[in-house]
Structure 1
Amino acid sequence: MHEQPMPSEAAAGTLKATVGTKLATSAMRWAGKADHLGGIPRALVIASVGALAKMFTSFLNSTHVHNAETLQRLVHCRSPDRPLITVSNHMSTLDDPLMWGFKGFPTMNAKLARWVLAAEDICFKNAIYSYLFRLGKCIPITRGGGIYQDNMNEALDVLINGGWVQLHTFPEGKICQESVPIRRLKWGTASLIARAPVTPLVLPIVHCGFEKELQQNNS
């Protein structure tokens, strides 16, 4: 009989940190429900962030949007059972939600607001962040966790429910502030399209300018 080696302190510390993060994010799924506390916390968070996005995009900067009516029509008027996926390039951590602050878009409407995939290690690093981002209709994604991770199934549930929600994704998988053609897209978005029982409408969005507001290293 051989005695199993004990994990090192460093490994144990990593294990604790990983387990803690998983518990924090998975336990917060209830906060993303539309009926959580009557929907009041979600409405407050989305209205507040939406107001900041409106101020930043529509009043503090000059914003030009081409073909905005297509996005507006899909958000407001598509069939209740038809899910919508919007995909875009990723220029900075400010892209979402500031990109929705253009004139005429219902940025502060909690019912119409997009769902968005958010990096777990950035947006869900503790219970407070997890709760606020959950209220903001964010779904934690573990980078490198694969297209069949549990939280991708949560994103799929959003598409299955369809209705007045949209799922916004950054299929490049990382921030890129270089003036180069869009890189190879990750498989996650395609997997959601393929697995959804009702084929989603897909609207590509290309934006520029946010990289000038927040300079950062690509990550």
Structure 2
Amino acid sequence: MGSVPFAVGAFSKLFLKAGCRSVRVDGLPQFLERLKGDRGVLTVANHISVVDEPFMWGTLPLRTFLDSRRTRWTLGASDVMFNGKLDRWFFEKGQVIETFRGKGIYQKAIDESSKKLDAGNWVHIFPEGRIKQEELHSLRRFKWGISRMLMECERVPLILPVWIKGFQEVMDEPRVWPNYLPRRGKDVTILFGEPLNPLIEPLLAAYKARFPVPWRPGTYDRPVGQDLEDEPHELATMRSEMAEAMRQGLMELGGRVGEVEKLPPSRITGW
């Protein structure tokens, strides 16, 4: 395994341990056990700051970052993370899949993510598609790419929700002077939830019964509107239902933040 995930994971762990006033983590042992299996794992989380990635993974033991299959893959915007040779090297080594905003759900990044999941890897998504710091208890409509990612998996992965709170105080959006660096002394809460598979697998079964062979357009990288004009009408409905089921499942996990915040601060594990 390369040094980038390990170094970034170590820095994130250091910040959680030394830079935060308190960190409360719920459900981590169960999450770590699920990463050990040979089944792919898809995590979905709310997105509240520019440091959610990578700081939220500072809760994981450092040894996790030495195993590429137990280190998350994620999608990153090309115009933000792949602007130069150094950026490209860093984020590719950090297991970030280049994604092009505005090119719809039929693009290679989604194909690659499905293949990673079929191979037993872990893929993480912020399905809202951008940071949301207002009304932290609710979520934007999920982008449809996450539904297509699951629809085209040959083997359904574990679908695990993760809810985060507090990072919006560590570094808000937009970053303006003097807030170029993460703020210290904040309270952070991270919840790892139970699988959403009971909600999603019946919808996937209905999709595969209707489309035994996944529908794809003749040309990739088009705006979503063009794809909607060409694809079967019920396909968009199925994607929307699946995305909404995941959204509701994630918000249900977020509803437990209050009870977790009443618990004593957690110990951030080392190795």
- Judge same fold: TM > 0.5, yes or no: yes
Q: Which SS does the other structure have where 1:45 is aligned?
A: helix
Offset at 1:201? 0.7
Offset at 1:103? 5.7
Structure 2, unaligned stretches of length 5 or more?
176-271
Deviations 1:102-150 (A, max 9, x none): 1646453242210011111111111210111000001011112111111
* 2:217 corresponds to: none
Q: Which SS does the other structure have where 1:207 is aligned?
A: strand
Counterpart mapping for 1:117-156 below 5 A: 117-156=75-114
What is the TM-score of this pair, normalised by structure 1?
0.74
Q: 1:110 to 1:130 in 2, by over 3 A?
A: farther
Identify the match of residue 139 of structure 2 among 153, 166, 182: 182
Q: Distance in 2 between matches of 1:191 and 1:59?
A: 40
Offset at 1:65? 0.7
Q: Which SS does the other structure have where 2:59 is aligned?
A: coil
* 2:19 corresponds to: 60
Structure 1, unaligned stretches of length 5 or more?
1-38
- Whether the 8 Å contact between 1:72 and 1:105 is mirrored in structure 2 is no
- Whether the 8 Å contact between 1:115 and 1:137 is mirrored in structure 2 is yes
Counterpart mapping for 1:1-219 below 5 A: 39=1, 42=2, 44-61=3-20, 62-76=22-36, 78=37, 80=38, 82-102=39-59, 104=61, 106-111=63-68, 112-162=70-120, 165-180=121-136, 181-217=138-174
The CA RMSD measured in Å over matched residues stands at 1.7
Q: Which SS does the other structure have where 1:174 is aligned?
A: coil
Offset at 1:173? 0.6
- How many equivalent pairs are there? 172
- Whether the 8 Å contact between 1:88 and 1:204 is mirrored in structure 2 is yes
What is the TM-score of this pair, normalised by structure 2?
0.60
